[in-house]
Amino acid sequence: MSDMMQHQIDAYVRREMLPEQEPPVTERGIVKWMRENLFSNVTNAIMTLIAILAVYLILTATLPWLLNGIWDAPSIRACREILQGEVGGCFAVLTERWNQLLFGFKYPDTEYWRPTLAFVLLFVAAAPVMFYKYTPRVMLFFTALYPFLAYWLIWGGTILTPVFALLGFVAGYVVWTVLVKRSFAGAFFGSIAAAVVTWWIGGMITGAMATENTLLIAVQSRDMGGFMLNLILGTVCVSLSLPIGIALALGRQSSMPIIKWICVIFIEFIRGVPLITLLFVANVVLAYFLPPGTTFDLILRVIIMITMFASAYIAEVIRGGLAALPTGQYEAANSLGLDYPQSMRLIILPQALKISIPGIVNVAVGLFKDTTLVSVISMFDLVGMIRGPILASTEWNGVYWELLGFAALLFFVVCYGISQYSQWLERELNTDHR
């Protein structure tokens, strides 16, 4: 009986491992991905087919226009003669007018290397701030010097102007470090006075020593244009609006009524006024409030207005980040014996800024795209160049899609880069699951 039972057990129990087999076709590779993501149910399958049809129609309409494009022609009429009725874009306008699209039509041709070098050095200067974990801290010295170097490269003229501008900030910092331990208000106003006096003395010396024998040819602000102008306005205004927005957000939460209401009125007024109105104020109205004969650079006026506009929005974004922090964080800072500046710098602001990254990036992207509004006040940025000198010329009157598509591509590359960096930064600062 036992031998019979053992024989039955041997008949049903396998004593050798089966060789490994590949999973079914529906459970591996591209078929599995499509089944799970594109055709998981009837609704998703229908939506996938509709999307494929839409992509097909778009490609069949645009690919012939791109592939048959003309890149070498002196005018739009020559493009049409070459195409002979076929579908194709006249991209020759980009090869003929690329310098005007990027640098404007008045910037000297022989000096294009200067804004190009300033643009390349921008990444070097931004690296210690944007990728602080992976760059040596000694590079921060170049980051501090870059604004003055970039100004000299783009505008040219005597090097004394950026040198005295830098010395003004150095003098203000020295006075601040000396007086801050005695009185915060005295250090604040003393540093401002030291910087203003240094700039005033530097202005007199620069004016007295002005000469034509400069290392770089001076270029006036009215000669700036093209995408270079958009980059200048976007970079400067975003860089300035972030610290000003932080100060406004903290001032709005201040316990001192005067400071609080000044910040509240400023934020609410600026947020309630369209940016184009502020640009018209910078272009026209502001001149009426200046003494007769006073010259106030238009780019500087526009930078001030755009910075004010962006600062108000960033202040509200950061205020939301501050409000999102639990009160326990403030109590923890007080329990450690930290004063207000220390608690904000070490505990509160790092957390609030991390929360506010998506909102800050949203404001920065919107601000960079809004720099195209300067075209309505006769500043020839990228859009202003397209709408003005290029389309007004008889050679390229009628070329719209090619020029506007090129402008859209440039803005998309910059804005997409900003967005991708913000997502990377959020992942770097995410310590919740580590």
Tell me the per-residue pLDDT of 238-289, one tens digit each, with 9 for 90 and over: 999 999 999 899 888 888 888 889 999 999 999 998 988 888 888 877 767 6
Q: Angle formed by the axes of helices 226-252 and 298-324, to 10°?
A: 40
**Cα–Cα distance list, 247 to 38, 45, 300 (Å):** 48, 52, 21
Question: What's the rounded mean pLDDT across residues 396-409?
Answer: 90
Tell me the per-residue pLDDT of 94-110, one tens digit each, with 9 for 90 and over: 999 899 999 988 899 88
Band of pLDDT at residue 120, cut at 50, 70 and 90: very high
Between residues 286 and 64, which one has the greater pLDDT? 64
Radius of gyration of the chain (CA): 30
Residue 267's contacts (CB-CB under 8 Å, 6 or more residues apart) are: 248, 252, 312, 315, 316
Tell me the per-residue pLDDT of 144-191, one tens digit each, with 9 for 90 and over: 899 999 999 999 888 888 888 888 888 888 888 888 777 766 777 888
Instruction: Tell me: pLDDT of 53 over 90.
Output: yes
pLDDT confidence of residue 241: 92
Tell me the per-residue pLDDT of 205-226, one tens digit each, with 9 for 90 and over: 877 766 555 778 888 888 888 9
pLDDT confidence of residue 11: 59
Between residues 53 and 204, which one has the greater pLDDT? 53
Between residues 325 and 181, which one has the greater pLDDT? 325
Instruction: Tell me: pLDDT of 55 over 90.
Output: yes
Instruction: Tell me: pLDDT of 352 over 70.
Output: yes
Phi-psi region of 378 (alpha: psi -120 to 50; beta: other; left: phi over 0): left
pLDDT confidence of residue 230: 93
Q: What is the pTM of this model?
A: 0.84
Lowest average pLDDT, out of 272-286, 327-341, 378-392, goes to 327-341
DSSP code of residue 221? G
Lowest average pLDDT, out of 13-27, 302-316, 381-395, goes to 13-27
DSSP code of residue 216? B
Around Cβ 230, how many Cβ atoms within 10 Å? 25
Question: Rounded CA gap, 86 and 414, in Å?
Answer: 33
Percent of the chain exceeding pLDDT 90 equals 28
